[in-house]
Amino acid sequence: MKHLLLALLALLAGCTSTGHEDLRQSARSQLFHVHALERATAERVLMECEALAPLVLAQPTSAAATPVEIYCVPVKKQYGEGRNLTEGDPELRQVSCIEIDIGRELSWERFVIAHELAHSWLAPEWNPLPQILEEGLADMAGSAADPQAGVCRRLFHGLRLVTWAGIGYPFSSEHDGRREAGMLKLGQPTAGLPTLAQMLELDATSYHDVGGDQNENLLYAVGFALVQQIGVPALKALCARANAQGLAQIPADWLLEAAGLTRATDQLWAICGMRLIGTAEEELLQHCLRDEGPFRFGKP
């Protein structure tokens, strides 16, 4: 999910400079070299990677597969995150290795692995894509890898967007015989949130610095919704146009125009988060509202 940028210094050391020295067990295939605390984890993640690789490579943004080093970081969380560690010029997106947090939810883990592999194998012609749109495309790969986790991702993205729009999501639920209804809000944006156009101007290094976690999570939602709205073929054409003009990144105005938006639209547009919440997402929401527990999906 998140990208960390290794300094040029780390080039020689690869990933060893980021606290991977305890991950001494490993499992490998032609494509993957997986490092973990326990052999069983390394072997399980290797099997997941092998199973997910064809799905990721079938994505419209993927180039041919190149070998990937994967570090499995144990975390005390239900849902782990993932990181692509890059080296050199960030615009060239040269991936040095992937970190996968090992949480407790395997369905989500599959989503994260596919998301990170989509970054790793992004074909160079997609490099002009702003980072938040690349995130949206990586989420598409994650959803293809684990549709249940994809439902959860779309629900969260949808709720964050309608919250940003200032409206929230209308819900009603029954719990212990009591009926509840209201407007559900998730992740109120905080100070420092860029405008929609500014979000499209961020790159791999600047998109973490947007005023905190809630804002950063919202950027992922915006990227996902914009990818749906613009469509993959139009995004590919915009990348080709930027490449032809020698531009490092597609100008924000091209993207807004492709989405039928203007700089004046801003957060009002985010009501389109409603479109991400269909029957499956509504069912998951009801499940969560009834259980009052964490968002759960898939088999344990």
Closest CA to 270 of 212, 171, 186, 207: 186
Residues binding Zn ion: number (CB under 5 A): 3
- Indicate the residue among 116 and 201 with the shorter CB distance to Zn ion: 116
- Indicate the residue among 55 and 138 with the shorter CB distance to Zn ion: 138
Q: Report d(CA 34, CA 242) in Å as an integer.
A: 36
List the beta bridge partners of residue 299.
none
To the nearest whole angstrom, how small is the minimum distance from the Cβ of residue 2 to Zn ion? 7
In the block, tokens 């791999």 appear at 204
- Indicate the residue among 135 and 146 with the shorter CB distance to Zn ion: 135
- Chain positions 118 to 137 lying near Zn ion, rule: CB under 5 A, are 135
Q: Report d(CA 239, CA 254) in Å as an integer.
A: 10
To the nearest whole angstrom, how small is the minimum distance from the Cβ of residue 82 to Zn ion? 7
To the nearest whole angstrom, how small is the minimum distance from the Cβ of residue 117 to Zn ion? 10
- Indicate the residue among 1 and 272 with the shorter CB distance to Zn ion: 1
Phi, psi of 100 (to 5 degrees): -120, 120
Confirm if 259 and 222 have CB atoms less than 8 A apart: no
Binding mask 1-20 for Zn ion (x = CB under 5 A): x-------------------
To the nearest whole angstrom, how small is the minimum distance from the Cβ of residue 216 to Zn ion? 11
Query: Coil, strand or helix: which one is 278?
Result: coil
Q: State how far Cα 126 lies from the chain centre.
A: 16
Q: Spell out where 166-270 has E strands.
A: 169-175, 178-184
- Indicate the residue among 72 and 261 with the shorter CB distance to Zn ion: 72
- Indicate the residue among 138 and 222 with the shorter CB distance to Zn ion: 138
Q: What does DSSP say about strands 82-87 and 32-36: parallel, antiparallel, or unpaired?
A: unpaired
To the nearest whole angstrom, how small is the minimum distance from the Cβ of residue 300 to Zn ion? 26
Confirm if 298 and 105 have CB atoms less than 8 A apart: yes
Binding mask 261-280 for Zn ion (x = CB under 5 A): --------------------
138 binds Zn ion (CB under 5 A): yes
Closest CA to 201 of 247, 132, 269: 132
To the nearest whole angstrom, how small is the minimum distance from the Cβ of residue 138 to Zn ion? 5
Contacts to Zn ion by CB under 5 A: 1, 135, 138
